[in-house]
Amino acid sequence: MKQIILGFVVLLLIAGAVIAFQKVYVTSDVPGTTPSPRPNLIVHSPKPNATVTNPIRVTGEGMAFESTFSYRLRDANGKILYENNAMLKGFEYPKYGTFDFKIAIPPNPTAQLTLEVFEYSAKDGAVTNLVRVPVQMANDDTTKVQAYFLNDTMDPQQTCTQVFPVERIVPKTKEVAFVAVSELLRGITPVEKNAKYVTALPERVAINSLVISDGVARIDFNYALDSGIGGSCRVSAIRAQIAQTLKQFSNVKEVIISREGNTEEVLQP
């Protein structure tokens, strides 16, 4: 019997030593949960089932291949309303990087939405490290903004600088300039396409920051702003679309465009 008890004690000591050397984490996002290995991506805000306004601010931390991860917004039916990717700041394995971005809610959303933050596998393109956060719209109030596009029917000379507004009815927002440019980045709708509107902006462009002060709007975009584009006409058209979309607001007289903080080499022919 003494040998059995001694053996049991030894097993307990070994188990305790193993546990002591295991690194476990409890995410602060879910108080009271059982300790578990820390996930690759953690969303700090919004919290699950939170009430959100337009745009939705998303913050968190994580680690990802080449510091790049993806995010998207789905409606109550599972339809993808918006998808893009973002970069982690300060990521250096095993230290987590951080993220902080905004998603403008598109026109006619459902009251229930789901934010998804995840990675696409470099091996086979499968979705990995998926985090889902269900949220609720604050209300169904709306506001009107304009986004400016090219239209050869209205500009038969194809000047590359003449752009024309289309109206979008979006969920009510205090950040109308941000939401207006976000609508510009979404591109044209099927109805607008039939009316001959087109955009010069490439896909996957996202706003890093927008600050309006003393009549000047300083807007910074991600790397996609001038990725793979060329020619003075297209560059001029992109500048015109962004500038006029911002200048619809009376507090904007001048627009300064940058890409990842660089104003000197952005949108060159």
How would residue 269 be classed by pLDDT, with cut points 50, 70 and 90? confident
Cα 198 to Cα 99, 152, 167, 172, 254: the distances in Å are 32, 9, 15, 26, 24
Q: Percent of the chain scored above 90 by pLDDT?
A: 81
Looking at the fold, whether 183 and 228 belong to one and the same domain comes out as yes
Backbone angles phi, psi at 101, to 5 degrees: -145, 170
> Which residues span the domain enclosing 66?
41-137
- Is the pLDDT reported for residue 30 higher than 80? no
pLDDT at 265: 86
Looking at the fold, whether 151 and 254 belong to one and the same domain comes out as yes
Looking at the fold, whether 120 and 158 belong to one and the same domain comes out as no
Is residue 219 included in any domain, yes or no? yes
Two tokens at 39?
């996930």
- Give the residue from 93, 110, 137 where a domain finishes: 137
Looking at the fold, whether 131 and 147 belong to one and the same domain comes out as no
Looking at the fold, whether 173 and 99 belong to one and the same domain comes out as no
How would residue 37 be classed by pLDDT, with cut points 50, 70 and 90? confident
CA distance 224 to 244: 20
Question: Higher-confidence residue: 195 or 34?
Answer: 195
Q: Across residues 210-234, what is the average pLDDT? A: 94
Sheet with 254-259, side-by-side order of all strands = 207-213, 216-221, 254-259
The count of structural domains within the chain is 2
